[in-house]
């Protein structure tokens, strides 16, 4: 028996089950649907200048808050982080973040 003959026999068996048992209809795969057609945008067009106000000039100029340690409740996992305090911007200024909350005891 060839594979196409086997698949047609299988399809006949599945079709028979669907006719006899109504619950089997839920198990049949739905036909594949093509790609979603393009939509119409409603927002502003994207800009190449978007977000350029926070462009960092040099990562070596970063300032950091003091290192802090975060531990899991059971003490198995430990993270040591140095949150960024400020960065030097391309325009010559600095961007400064607020101090993050202290880790839980």
Predicted confidence (pLDDT) at residue 86 exceeds the cutoff of 90: yes
Q: Is the dihedral of CA 17, 21, 23, 25 positive or negative?
A: positive
Give yes or no for residue 40 having a pLDDT over 60.
Answer: yes
Q: What is the pLDDT of residue 51?
A: 52
Q: Does residue 100 contact residue 84 with C-beta atoms inside 8 Å?
A: no
Judged against a pLDDT cut of 90, whether residue 72 lies above it is answered with: no
Residue 79 has pLDDT above 70, yes or no: yes
Q: Which residue has the higher pLDDT, 38 or 33?
A: 33
DSSP letters, 43-99, are SPPP-TTTTGGG-BS-GGG-EEPPPEEEE-TTSS-EEEE--EEEEEBTTS-EEEPPP
pLDDT at 3: 56
Mean per-residue pLDDT, 72-101: 89
| pTM exceeding 0.85 | no
Please tell me the predicted confidence (pLDDT) of residue 98.
92
Residue 6: band (very low, low, confident or very high) from pLDDT cuts 50, 70, 90? low
Rg of the chain over all Cα atoms, to the nearest angstrom? 30
Mean pLDDT for 37-45 is 61
């Amino acid at each position: 028996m060839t594979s196409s003959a086997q698949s047609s026999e299988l399809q006949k068996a599945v079709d028979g089950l669907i006719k006899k048992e109504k619950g089997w209809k839920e198990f049949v795969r739905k036909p594949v649907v093509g790609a979603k057609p393009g939509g119409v945008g409603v927002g502003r067009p994207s800009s190449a200048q978007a977000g350029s106000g926070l462009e960092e000039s040099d990562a070596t100029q970063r300032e950091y808050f003091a290192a802090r340690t975060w531990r899991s409740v059971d003490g198995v996992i430990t993270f040591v982080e140095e949150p960024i305090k400020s960065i030097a911007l391309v325009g010559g200024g600095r961007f400064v973040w607020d101090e993050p909350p202290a880790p839980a005891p």
